[in-house]
Amino acid sequence: MKKCLVFFLLFHIVLLPNAISQSLQFKNLNVNDGLLSSTVYNVFQDSKGFIWFSTINGVSKYDGKTFENFTTDNGLSDNEVLKIKEDSKGRIWFLTYNGRLSYYLNGIFYNPNNNALLKKAICHSNFVSFYEDVNHTLWFSTNIGEIVSIKNNTVTFKYVDNFKYVLSNLFYFEDVNKNLWSCNDVRFHKIKNTEFSIFKQKYYPLDVRSIYYSKQTHTLYFMSKEGLIEMKNGTQRIIIKISATVLNKGISSILVENNKLWIGLLGNGVKLYDLKNKTFENFLPDKFVSSIIRDSYKNIWISTVDNGVYLLSKKANKFKHYTKLNSLTNESIYSIIKDSKNKIWLGLRNGQINIINKDKIEVLNIKADSLIFNPVKQLHYDYKNKKIWFLSSTNTGYLDEDLKANLLNNKKQKLQYALKSFDIDANKNLAIATSSGLYIHKYKKENPGFFVFDNDKLNRKIYDRTFCLAFDKNNNLWYDQLNGLHILTSNHKILSFSKKIIPLNDRIGHILCDSTGLVYASTSSNGICIFKDYKLVKVITTKDGLNSNNCLKSYVFKNQLWVITSKGVNKIENPLGKIRTTSYTVDNGLLTNEVNDILVDSDYVYVATNKGLTKINQKKELNNVHELPIYFKKFIINGKEYQISNNIIELSHKDNNIQISFTAIDFEEPDNIVYEYKIKESEEWIQTSNNILQFASLEPGDYDIQVRAKIIGGIYSKTINIPIKVNPPFYKNPLFILSLVLIIITLTIIAINKYTRLKRIKEHKKLLYESKVIALEQQALQAMMNPHFIFNVMNSIQYFINTENKSTANKLLTGFARLIRKNLDIVNKGQISLSEEIEYLNLYLQLESLRFGEKLNYKINIHPDIDDEEIFIPSMLLQPFVENAIWHGIMPNNGKGNLAININQDQQSLKIIIEDDGIGIDNSLKTKNDGYISRGMSITRERIKLMNLLSGKELHIQVNQQEEGGTRVKLTIPLA
């Protein structure tokens, strides 16, 4: 066992000459944030709430989150703008170095180049001041005595160059009787119309920049050689004397409000005087301050030359900071408690403890190995026994009444692992969370300085990395490990919460049990989980106003839940009801957003950070619930910007690609602004953090796009809206649709009538065609049986009889009779089967073969797959082509002739090819007389043309003379 350590505690008290100095926390805005230039001459807030900055490079407009910058490219008359003011018409005036005025109204800049009034008001030097009197006359002063007044559309110049009046660098103001005055460092003037009357006074301003005027109280304040002077109703009095050292440092601006005097100095920062207590403080040392204002939200703005702008949040006035400047031995504070004597104990990163006692710092030096206590991660005050418990990374123990350190004594096991947190129950039993598990140490009454290791009764499940723990009011121990959140009951039973509960499926960094039985678990990414009667009853997240869902620690005071997040501190009022959230961050007064611990009482909130301690005065708590000003910024249709008006904006159906941007103004919590919108009154609000709405294709109809904003946990602003009507295309217009329906009905009736008439005509033509086909078929029959053919056949029969070849004559006569009978069978048929057509051809060819003997050879080839009984073709279609092949092809050719008829079929048509080896069609035509027409072929072609018209199908004929001689006829007959 290691040698027992004895610690000697020596105190030394650093007594400050006055109360500990209050160090205000300023937020700096510069070019990295979007400011146009770090050289800022003036800060101004317009009537809408926007903050304007005049710089050496133009002007910047700020809404708390984004800067909108303007230069001469946008319409300024000069980029070097010295001051910014606003008149009662909402015109933002820019007082420039070049003596050329310009103003901004409804998104447009006006300057001498585009405005006749401003062209008349050009001066020969720079403007230094602006004022609008009760008669709405605008007064401008320059640095060389040139004065410009503008009323309505009239510009009046006044210039007096003598010492009696000295009208250079004038400051304008009005008294309670609405009389207009001006003053500078040597004169006070009373102005009537454009006449200046001199009024002698006892005190005069040091400079036009050292004057402040309260328009609400008609009171003029200025710095003179004697100090701060108040002038009201022509009467002057000294408010406070200021040392010549300050007066001679170059005053650039003053602000007098709420018994406070702010003085901006060139090169010496800011001096803040408490006019009631006659004390002062220095801020922003070495900064060249150019102007100071307080905005309508009670924030202080300080512009500087070369360092941008500094913002002091209204909340910062409630803050007091303790750092090394206030004798803290280390600014990284890990833990904080308050004892029964209202002393504040701070556990530091360097292992020391600092104590704040009535605004005095007591430093507790521990004479021992400094690493033992590095850092003091947790402090706990035992009110009953008046002991201060502490926990470091490797040890835990307590300080007794003699401030002697007592380390935890374990007989069975010494803690050799990283310690996370500890808690003590009502029976003085101690629980410690470590990287190796949960350890219970039972208080030993007979030896109060010792605790007995009491893990023997516990399940092995507790030996797992433990992050945090806490005893509830029933002495049940809540603890979080790698495998989730658990409860160790007083009778050593373990209750576990399912990790399927999404908010608990996360690491818990801190557990707090209050006196009412509620338990608060701070999770690393799911916010704060609140338990009641061992059930999860509420989860508070960023949607409720938390700065972040990464919660580190919580603290309960009355009905307030204070939560430390990775982005500062939140105060949550009524956490189980209708939540109201207040945010404290570096933007509104904290030293840093890295907060380690918090302590709350009825008067103050103590915030322990890595940069010191912040003390927040709850007695000066400001009402954080306010409506945010919200405005539309841009309205863009199909990439083109349009002016926003209160009238209904009518768009065509093609102009439905809309982008609307808007902004809500808040300078303390701009990142906590949320927006809601809807496009129709009947629809539900949709929440978004984006300040741009994009509608890619709005359907035709009436819309009322509404937008509102709030700080998370606050109240909603007024609703702003843009009424929009997207007109339908002309073809969706009801009148057009009605006209179109009537036209369609009319055209339909006309079409039906025309169709009926054409159908009748077509049917009539069909009847004519059919009659003509029948006639042609009769003609074809007659042509086939022409006298020439009959004469030839009869001559052949006579020849065979005369030569006593009776057998051949009988065959020829019999065949001729059968052919005539076949003709009579088919003459009245439009179509016959292919087998009938082949039979007919065979009869005809047999007769011709008998007549010509060996001179004619013929073949009819039909593909075996063809069913000639089922295929029908026009009757007597092939005979004219065969006859032509014999008489005009083969017979003129001396010698033996061959004729072939080949019949094939595909899926769509029947293909018939008639080939002969005669003289050829072209040669045959050459031997004929001009104008010769084959009557049989002519009738056949006309017949085929009519059949094609009737059937709507194409019966195709192709006749060609072959290269080697002879003729080839190809017929393609569509199949039904």
Cα angle for residues 52, 54, 59 (degrees, 5° grid) = 70
Which range, of 16-25, 231-240, 526-535, 876-885, averages the lowest pLDDT? 16-25
The model's confidence at residue 813, banded by pLDDT at 50, 70 and 90, is confident
Query: Is the predicted pLDDT of residue 418 greater than 60, yes or no?
Result: yes
Output Rg (C-alpha) for the chain, integer angstroms.
55
Taking the chain, what is the end-to-end CA distance rounded to the nearest angstrom?
113
Q: Which fold has domain 763-974?
A: Heat Shock Protein 90 (3.30.565)
Q: 532-543 burial string, b = 16+ CB within 10 Å, else e? A: eeeebebbbbbe
pLDDT at 456: 54
Question: Residue 574 carries which side chain, given as an amino acid letter?
Answer: N
Phi, psi of 705 (to 5 degrees): -75, 115
969 φ/ψ sector (left φ>0, alpha ψ -120 to 50, else beta): beta
CB count in 10 Å sphere of residue 933: 8
At which residue do the structure tokens 């006070």 appear? 188
State yes or no: cis peptide before 375, omega within 30 of 0. yes
Q: Helices 787-802 and 806-826, interaxial angle, to 10°?
A: 160
Cα–Cα distance for residue pair 298/549, rounded to 1 Å:
30
Can you tell me whether residue 7 is helix, strand or coil? coil
Name 873's Cβ contacts closer than 8 Å, sequence gap at least 6.
831, 832, 834, 837, 910, 973
Please tell me the CATH code under which domain 630-732 is placed: 2.60.40.10
Percent of the chain at pLDDT above 90?
45
At which residue do the structure tokens 């910058």 appear? 69
| Location of each CATH 3.30.565.10 domain in the chain | 763-974
pLDDT, one tens digit per residue, over 866-908 is 988 889 888 778 888 888 888 888 888 877 889 999 999 988 8
Query: Is the predicted pLDDT of residue 19 greater than 90, yes or no?
Result: no
CB count in 10 Å sphere of residue 245: 8
- Pairing status of strand 40-45 against strand 27-29: unpaired
Q: Using a cut of 0.75, tell me whether the model's pTM lies above it.
A: no
Query: Is the predicted pLDDT of residue 403 greater than 90, yes or no?
Result: no
Concatenate the DSSP letters of all residues of 25-63 into one string.
-PEEE-GGGT-S-S-EEEEEE-TTS-EEEEETTEEEEE-
pLDDT, one tens digit per residue, over 619-634 is 765 555 678 999 999 8
Cα–Cα distance for residue pair 251/266, rounded to 1 Å:
6
How many alpha carbons lie under 13 Å from residue 507 in its C-beta half-sphere?
Answer: 9
Mean pLDDT, the chain, integer: 85
- Supply the DSSP symbol for 342: -
Q: Give the highest mean pLDDT range of 39-53, 389-403, 575-589.
A: 39-53
Cα–Cα distance for residue pair 563/569, rounded to 1 Å:
6
Which range, of 91-95, 271-275, 367-371, 490-494, averages the lowest pLDDT? 367-371
Cα–Cα distance for residue pair 329/650, rounded to 1 Å:
68
Query: Is the predicted pLDDT of residue 352 greater than 90, yes or no?
Result: no
Q: Do residues 841 and 901 lie in contact, with contact meaning Cβ atoms separated by under 8 Å? A: yes
pLDDT at 75: 96
Cα–Cα distance for residue pair 835/841, rounded to 1 Å:
10
pLDDT at 767: 73
The H or E element spanning position 254 is strand 251-257
Q: Kindly compute the dihedral angle of the four CA atoms of residues 353, 358, 361, 365, in this order, to the nearest 10 degrees.
A: -40
Query: Is the predicted pLDDT of residue 150 greater than 90, yes or no?
Result: yes
| Location of each CATH 2.40.128 domain in the chain | 204-307
What is the CATH class of 204-307? mainly beta
The model's confidence at residue 121, banded by pLDDT at 50, 70 and 90, is very high
pLDDT at 2: 32
pLDDT, one tens digit per residue, over 279-327 is 888 999 999 999 999 999 899 999 999 899 999 988 887 888 888 887 8
Q: What is the helix, strand, coil percentage profile of the chain, to 5? A: 20, 40, 40
Query: Is the predicted pLDDT of residue 9 greater than 50, yes or no?
Result: no
The model's confidence at residue 5, banded by pLDDT at 50, 70 and 90, is very low
With CA atoms as reference, report the closest residue to 142 among 168, 165, 121: 168
| Location of each CATH 2.60.40.10 domain in the chain | 630-732
Sign of the C-alpha dihedral computed for residues 604, 605, 608 and 613 taken in this order = negative
How many alpha carbons lie under 13 Å from residue 366 in its C-beta half-sphere?
Answer: 24
Cα–Cα distance for residue pair 885/962, rounded to 1 Å:
13
At which residue do the structure tokens 């809807």 appear? 678
The model's confidence at residue 827, banded by pLDDT at 50, 70 and 90, is low
Q: Do residues 7 and 368 lie in contact, with contact meaning Cβ atoms separated by under 8 Å? A: yes
CB count in 10 Å sphere of residue 470: 23
